[in-house]
Amino acid sequence: MNVEIELSTESVIKAVSGILINGDMGISFKGISTDTRIIKPGYLFFALKGEKFDGHEFYKDAIEKGAKGMVISYFPKGFRVEEIPKTISVILVKDTLKALGDLASYWRDKLNSTFVAITGSCGKTTTKELTYNIISRFFKTAKNQANYNNLIGVPLSLLSIKEDTEVAILELGTNQKGEIERLSQIVKPHISVITSIYPSHLEGLNSIEGVLEEKTSLFKNTWEKGTIIYNFDQEILRKRAESFPQNKISFGFDKKADLSFKDLVFSENKIKGVIVFKEKTYPLEIENIGKHNLLNLLAGLCSAISLGLNLKEIVPLIEKEIPLYKRFKILEKKNIFIIDDTYNANPGSTKAALEYLKEISRNKKKVVILGDMKELGNESEKLHREIGGLVAEIVDFAIFTGEMAKSYEEGFKEKNQDKNCKIFNSVEEFLENFSFKEIIKEKAIILIKGSRALKMERIVERLLKELS
């Protein structure tokens, strides 16, 4: 990723506690890059080391493409300081990834912005986008693009924020212990949101308690006079939130939440209901984005309230003007509705998708195609069986694919021996051996979901082809 930002060698060295081994303090940079394939002349190159590539190995490419500086943590093979032009600053640090975060923290402290940080087991991106769509109507607002929510993406997103930004909304993700702690220390949020706590990334976080500890480290690093926002419906999160000193706003379907819904009515295309906040009510009618996304909308409204905005002004805009972001896509062809939710999957988001399928099915045959939910560690078989059982209660026909297909099937059969399901060991095996002809003979709604690693969008593409 490239970030356009004006920085001097001196300011970078101060921010990252680096040592200048070539060039001089007066050399300035037009931007920052972590990728020599797209780096621009005049940029500072951060040599990051990943699982597959080590940026240090591409230092010559950075020089050839006009880089004015580089941040490194060791001398790569063939590197000789005396051969580097004196017009290029070379900054040595202990850890280039930490240095990138330190530089982002330095830049954050220069900004006179209000920072909103969002994390959770699922709903992070949807909440970020909904929050941005609301708040950007009232303030000059920035956000991280796509899923730049990790130890590389968040610092680069921070460094891309312009000095006239009033509100910055940043999604923070994790798959290992300590990542939210580090990211929240960099961002130093004024307002923090936790959307949900579910079993996810258990290979790195071990248990639901580990997930809770990881996510709530965001609250620990939120400004003491700031606001923390949390899902009231989840007891495990509600109890933990009570222990923090900041101002609090809760959201949920429970009427005891600070911000909630009542009188909800779902139809195939619409949701009607009433938002309740401090005993005041605000009628709302919007497209059917799914019950789970109503919680993400409430979380976004909590952030707006924390910034001093008025629901009386916001709610009519939601009905008429503000785009309602949702992660999944609804595709319709002939008599078939397809819910394309192939971006990713964990137990929380999969349950939400199944609930949405149930809400909008309306006399259509319900079909689910589920792939593995990755990174669940020792709990994987159990959690896949649980989801398989839930599928059996909702759908008419199910297909399970991937390494955990058998566990899905076991849960499915435990709940209902009479319903049909098929299993495949991989998406490739499914695509080679299955035809949609039987499913698409009648009116049906098909949910397709699985972890990103399975690339289940290929199933959507096949289905659309067969419907052509």
In terms of domains, do 88 and 123 share one?
A: no
Q: Compute the average pLDDT of residues 54-62.
A: 96
In terms of domains, do 278 and 314 share one?
A: yes
HSE-up of residue 311 (Cα within 13 Å, Cβ side): 22
8 A C-beta contact, residue 440 and residue 466: yes
- The one-letter amino acid code at 296 reads N
In terms of domains, do 337 and 445 share one?
A: yes
Please, where are the H alpha helices in 307-423? 311-320, 347-360, 380-394, 405-415
In terms of domains, do 18 and 149 share one?
A: no
Which carries the bigger pLDDT value, residue 348 or residue 136? 136
Least confident of 87-91, 155-159, 343-347: 343-347
Instruction: Give the pLDDT confidence of 113-157 residue by residue, as tens digits.
Output: 999 999 998 889 999 999 999 999 999 999 998 779 999 999 999
Q: Is residue 380 part of a domain?
A: yes
Q: Is residue 345 part of a domain?
A: yes
- For residues 170 and 119, give the distance between their C-alpha atoms in angstroms, rounded to a whole number: 9
Instruction: Give the pLDDT confidence of 367-377 residue by residue, as tens digits.
Output: 999 999 998 88
8 A C-beta contact, residue 29 and residue 68: yes
- For residues 339 and 206, give the distance between their C-alpha atoms in angstroms, rounded to a whole number: 31
In terms of domains, do 63 and 91 share one?
A: yes
Output the six-digit token pair for 119: 């994390």
Which helix (H) or strand (E) element contains residue 31? Answer: strand 28-33
Q: Is residue 132 part of a domain?
A: yes
Domain boundary among 266, 296, 320: 320
Reply yes or no on whether the pLDDT at 41 is more than 70.
yes
Q: How confident is the model at residue 69 (pLDDT cuts 50, 70, 90)?
A: very high
In terms of domains, do 187 and 292 share one?
A: yes
Which residue range is the domain that position 59 belongs to?
2-97
When computed from its CA atoms, the radius of gyration of the chain, rounded to whole angstroms, is 24
Count of domains observed in the chain: 3
Output the six-digit token pair for 460: 């959507």
Q: Going along 131-269, which residue ranges are E strands? A: 141-143, 167-171, 191-194, 227-231, 247-252, 259-266
Beta strands 89-92 and 19-22 are antiparallel
Output the six-digit token pair for 239: 């109890």
Reply yes or no on whether the pLDDT at 206 is more than 80.
no
In terms of domains, do 248 and 116 share one?
A: yes
Residues sharing a CB contact under 8 Å with residue 85, sequence separation 6 or more, in sequence order: 63
Please give the annotated binding residues, written as ranges: 120-126
Q: Is residue 106 part of a domain?
A: no
In terms of domains, do 29 and 134 share one?
A: no
Torsion from C-alpha of 202, 208, 214, 220, nearest 10 degrees: 180
Reply yes or no on whether the pLDDT at 288 is more than 70.
yes
Please give the annotated binding residues for ATP, written as ranges: 120-126
Q: Is residue 15 part of a domain?
A: yes
Domain CATH for 269: 3.40.1190.10
DSSP string, 244-267: S-SEEEEEESSTTSSEEEEEEEE-
Q: Is residue 105 part of a domain?
A: no
- For residues 348 and 214, give the distance between their C-alpha atoms in angstroms, rounded to a whole number: 17
**Most confident of the following: 61-65, 147-151, 204-208:** 61-65
Reply yes or no on whether the pLDDT at 255 is more than 80.
yes
* Residue 179 CA: distances (Å) to CA of 125, 154, 338, 343: 17, 11, 35, 22
Q: Compute the average pLDDT of residues 233-247.
A: 95
- In Å, the largest CA–CA distance within the chain is 76
CA neighbor of 445 nearest in space, from 387, 395, 409: 395
Output the six-digit token pair for 350: 């999969």
Reply yes or no on whether the pLDDT at 201 is more than 70.
no
Instruction: Give the pLDDT confidence of 208-224 residue by residue, as tens digits.
Output: 888 899 999 999 999 99
Q: Is residue 104 part of a domain?
A: no
In terms of domains, do 274 and 305 share one?
A: yes
In terms of domains, do 288 and 240 share one?
A: yes
Reply yes or no on whether the pLDDT at 199 is more than 80.
no
pLDDT at 204: 64
Beta strands 43-46 and 28-33 are parallel
In terms of domains, do 157 and 294 share one?
A: yes
8 A C-beta contact, residue 116 and residue 167: yes
CA neighbor of 446 nearest in space, from 405, 395, 372: 395
pLDDT at 200: 66
Domain CATH for 334: 3.90.190.20
DSSP string, 431-450: HHH--STTGGGS-EEEEEE-
